[in-house]
Amino acid sequence: MTMADQIWQFRAFSAPNGEQAAVAFLNEPLRQGAGEASATLRNDGTAGLLWLEPGSLGESDAQTWQWREFPAPNGEQAAVAFLNEPLRQGRGEATVTPRGNGAVGLLWLEPGSLGESTIQAWQVKDFPGPDGEQAALAFLNATPRQAGGEASGFVRNDGSAAIFYLEPGSG
């Protein structure tokens, strides 16, 4: 299958279990692989999902999508620590939603393609507002740069931003 054979789709999942419904959907055939899904996990229990259809995993169950919430006050650090545990997630295998209260919602593919390797490690960085998105972009474009699937970002209403990224980048 080529990229031309796939199209991006969107679907909203309602509360109170939107996150779990999105994960169940991603695990149905034709399943999405690394970099083929991006989710926004909202505070109210709803979720928005962008995905490529058909997914490259097809009907295989070698990897499955999972979901977890990391509570405040240190949700960002807990999510990064989790992503760096074996079996570790590689590029395109995690999508993160940091919340304004310090909690974090995480969707990831398990097992991750990095296994127990420590060549790359997940990191998190916050950029204060009002120009956080510009500072985050400048950071991601500095050397070594993150390639496709190696960063997941979030811009907040106050202009601040947070990024989760694989370091060093491969780009």
Whether the pTM exceeds 0.75: the reply is yes
In the block, residue with structure tokens 């969107």: 10
Q: How confident is the model at residue 1 (pLDDT cuts 50, 70, 90)?
A: low
* Among candidate residues 94, 100, 66, 101, the one with its CA nearest the CA of residue 80: 94
User: For residue 111, is pLDDT > 80?
Assistant: yes
Question: In sequence order, what are the beta bridge partners of 122?
Answer: 166
- Which tokens belong to 99? 């919340």
User: For residue 3, is pLDDT > 70?
Assistant: no
Question: In sequence order, what are the beta bridge partners of 41?
Answer: 47
- Round to whole Å and give the CA distance between 150 and 21: 25
- Which tokens belong to 71? 């509570």
Is residue 73 classed as helix, strand or coil in its secondary structure? coil
Q: pLDDT tens digit string along 53-90?
A: 999 999 999 999 999 999 999 999 999 999 999 999 99
Instruction: Look at residue 101 in the predicted model and tell me its pLDDT.
Output: 86
Instruction: Look at residue 105 in the predicted model and tell me its pLDDT.
Output: 96
Q: Give the domain ranges of the chain.
A: 3-56+65-167
∠ CA 51-54-84, nearest 5°, is 50
Q: pLDDT tens digit string along 92-108?
A: 999 999 988 889 999 99
> Could you tell me the CA-to-CA distances from 150 to 43, 70, 159 in Å, in that order?
25, 20, 22
